[in-house]
Amino acid sequence: MNDVTTDECCWQAVETRDGNADGKFVFAVKTTGIFCRPSCTARHPLRKNVLFFLSPDDAAAAGFRPCKRCQPDKVAPEQQRAERIMQACRIMEASPEPLTLETLAAQVAMSPFHFHRLFKSIIGLTPGAWQKALRTQRLRDRLADGEKVTRAAYDAGFQSGSNFYQQADAALGMTARQYRQGGERATVQFVVGCCQLGEFLVAESERGICAILLGSSAEILIAELETLFPKANLIAGDAAYAQRVASVVSLLEHPGRDIDLPLDIQGTAFQQQVWQALREIPAGSTVSYQDIAERIGKPKAVRAVAGACAANRLAVVVPCHRVVRRDGALSGYRWGVERKKQLLSLEAEQRKK
Catalytic residues: 36, 320
Distance of CA 19 to the CA centre of its chain: 21
Up-side HSE of residue 336: CA atoms within 13 Å toward CB?
A: 11
Contact at 8 Å (CB) between 24 and 76? no
List the one residue out of 237, 303, 233, 238 whose CA is nearest residue 270: 303
Distance CA 172, CA 153 (A): 11
List the one residue out of 137, 146, 122 whose CA is nearest residue 308: 137
Distance CA 289, CA 210 (A): 24
Type of residue found at 47: R
- 3 state SS of 288: strand
Distance CA 233, CA 221 (A): 16
A 10 A CB-CB count for 78 gives: 14
Degrees, nearest 5: CA angle 45-47-53: 90
Contact at 8 Å (CB) between 28 and 50? yes
Which pairs count as long-range contacts for 42-48, CB under 8 Å and 24+ apart, including other chains? 42/67, 42/69, 42/70, 44/14, 44/15, 47/11
